[in-house]
Amino acid sequence: MPGVLRTMARVGARDHTTFGGRLSPRPRGRFARAAAERGLDGDWRDFEQIRHWTHGIAANLLRAREAVPHLRCAQ
């Protein structure tokens, strides 16, 4: 986590989010293989959670655009 926090500070990120992923039943890497052997293989992605996160980002960008008049798009 310290690496994530350093990168966030360097790029000026406001927040970060981690999502579950997909792990093959026969992965190549040692750590991934150990996780799969413990029964952690499968598809753990939550597309509704991802959608909710992206909608929040879009809403923040729209609010920021409205706060800066020269960034508003002509309608």
Per-position pLDDT tens, the chain of length 75:
789 999 999 999 988 898 999 999 999 999 999 999 999 999 999 999 999 999 999 999 999 888 887 766 655
Q: Which domain holds residue 34?
A: 2-71
Phi and psi of 54, rounded to 5°? -65, -35
Quote the pTM value.
Answer: 0.67
35/55 Cα distance (integer angstroms): 32
Q: What is the tally of structural domains in the chain?
A: 1
Looking at the chain, the number of H-run helices and the number of E-run strands are 3, 2
Give me the pLDDT at residue 29, please: 94
Could you give the maximum distance between any two Cα atoms of the chain, in Å? 56
DSSP state of 73: P
